[in-house]
């Protein structure tokens, strides 16, 4: 049974009907109430029929969370959900909240698609020193034949296959 905590003006009669009791101009009045479900937390709450049309949330806290886009309306439950694919700086990103590269405390839940494709090609997670390069320069072209693995511990623009095994190596040929 629903209990309007902290507000003695709401009462429930023997038939299960909720009422709001008010006194205006010294006259006691009662208004029929409705039971509604909060759009944010999904809890049921009691509201006067006078305010029921405009009421969407049980508390100001839930209203604030919903209007700022916080709380339970993230990912697939969001009104702006587009299937988990988006673009950022020209790169395609994929919704992957359980990916190994995302710390549990992070609010970031997307991973670059080219990194996921390369991990699948290699059969292992990418190392922090590894970078995925698009051969044709098109950032959203994530075909396996267009991707190559680079090593960030070497100068930028160095392919992993082109790195000499020692700084003075004479066997390194261009």
Instruction: Determine, yes or no, domain membership for 138.
Output: yes
Number of compact structural domains in the chain: 2
- Residue range(s) defining the domain that contains residue 14: 10-73
The answer to whether 63 and 80 have CB atoms below 8 angstroms apart is no
Instruction: Determine, yes or no, domain membership for 5.
Output: no
- CA 101 → CA 5, 15, 98, 111, distances in Å? 44, 56, 9, 8
32-66 confidence digits (pLDDT tens): 888 888 888 888 888 877 777 778 888 888 888 77
Domain end: 22, 39, 73, which one?
A: 73
CA 131, CA 115: separation in Å to the nearest integer? 8
Same domain, 69 and 118: no
Instruction: Determine, yes or no, domain membership for 170.
Output: no
Instruction: Determine, yes or no, domain membership for 168.
Output: no
The answer to whether 76 and 82 have CB atoms below 8 angstroms apart is no
At 137 the three-state DSSP class reads coil
Instruction: Determine, yes or no, domain membership for 155.
Output: yes
Same domain, 100 and 150: yes
Same domain, 27 and 38: yes
Instruction: Determine, yes or no, domain membership for 3.
Output: no
Q: At 111, which CATH number?
A: 3.90.75
Which of 78-82, 85-89, 105-109, 155-159 is least confident?
155-159
Residue 49: phi and psi, rounded to 5, are -60, -25
Whole-model pTM: value is: 0.49
Same domain, 157 and 84: yes
Q: 173 or 76: whose pLDDT is higher?
A: 76
């Amino acid at each position: 049974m629903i209990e309007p905590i902290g507000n003695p003006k709401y009462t429930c009669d023997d038939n299960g009907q909720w009422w709001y009791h008010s006194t205006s101009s010294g006259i006691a009045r009662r208004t029929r109430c409705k039971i509604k479900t909060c759009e944010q937390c999904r809890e049921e709450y009691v509201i006067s029929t006078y305010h029921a049309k405009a009421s969407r949330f049980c508390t100001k806290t839930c209203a604030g969370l919903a209007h700022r886009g916080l709380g339970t309306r993230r990912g697939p439950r969001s009104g702006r959900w587009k299937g988990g694919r988006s673009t950022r700086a020209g790169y395609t990103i994929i919704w992957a909240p359980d990916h190994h590269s995302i710390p549990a405390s992070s609010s970031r839940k997307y991973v670059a698609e080219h990194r996921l494709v390369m991990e699948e090609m290699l059969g292992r997670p990418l190392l922090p020193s590894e970078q995925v390069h698009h051969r044709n320069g098109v950032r959203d072209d994530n075909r396996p034949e267009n991707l190559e693995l680079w090593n960030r511990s070497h100068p930028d623009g160095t392919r992993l296959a082109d790195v000499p095994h020692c700084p003075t190596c004479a066997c390194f040929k261009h």
